[in-house]
Amino acid sequence: MAEKPQIKPNAFFGAIIFALVVTLLYMYYPQIEILLPINGQTMEIPSSIKPASIEQECKAANSIVIAKVGKKSTNHLIGTASMNADFIVYSEVTIEVMQVLKGSPTLNDDKTMLTYELGGSVLLNDVGHQAKYTFVYTDSAKLDKDAIVMLFLDTENNIINEKYGILLQKVEEHYLDYASNTFTFEQIQAYLNEG
């Protein structure tokens, strides 16, 4: 009679650990996927925002600030985390205010404030399981960390008209709008003095 091969304890425990790891990855994949640099499914959300000129932005803004973009929070979701419900995905962004050109925005003691940026990745319930979705809102404001920007704000420090309410500083005293039109600080001051 042939002798049975002995199973080494290391191989046995290795197989059990492998099975546990695979089971845990299967169970927690959606939570792990949100941390990965892959987008999952990307959905573009159209906006109904109408373009506005700098003159219109200067008049409509409650406050206007020159600021440095700071840290973004993780993505937030307002509404129900389901593909069948209305919701908004956004990130809170810390803004370090360098100069106030108009109004009195609500600032913290360290001259920072919070605003938001629409879009981002979240886990949603889709047909009984969670999946990662990345939402891109057309015409949403884009705030890149450490960028110097001029922001046109409403009474709650929200950027009015999304991307139309941001000017990006390229060189000192020169700002670009969403269409790469250049404005000098003096031009913007003239628009402020008119309104």
- Predicted confidence pLDDT, tens digits, the chain (195 residues): 567 767 677 777 888 888 888 888 777 766 666 666 565 678 788 878 888 888 999 999 999 999 999 998 877 777 765 555 577 888 899 999 999 999 999 999 999 999 999 888 887 776 666 777 888 888 888 899 999 999 999 999 999 988 888 999 988 889 999 888 999 999 999 988 886
Contact call for residues 33 and 132 (beta carbons, < 8 A): yes
Tokens of 75: 């993505």
Strand ranges in the chain using DSSP code E only, listed in sequence order: 41-45, 63-79, 87-102, 112-118, 120-126, 129-137, 148-153, 166-171, 174-176, 182-184
Grouping H, G, I as helix, E, B as strand and the rest as coil, residue 139 is: coil
Sequence spans of domains, the chain: 39-194
Looking from the CA of 18 toward its CB, the CA atoms found within 13 Å total 6
Q: What is the fold, at CATH topology level, of the domain defined by 39-194?
A: OB fold (Dihydrolipoamide Acetyltransferase, E2P) (2.40.50)
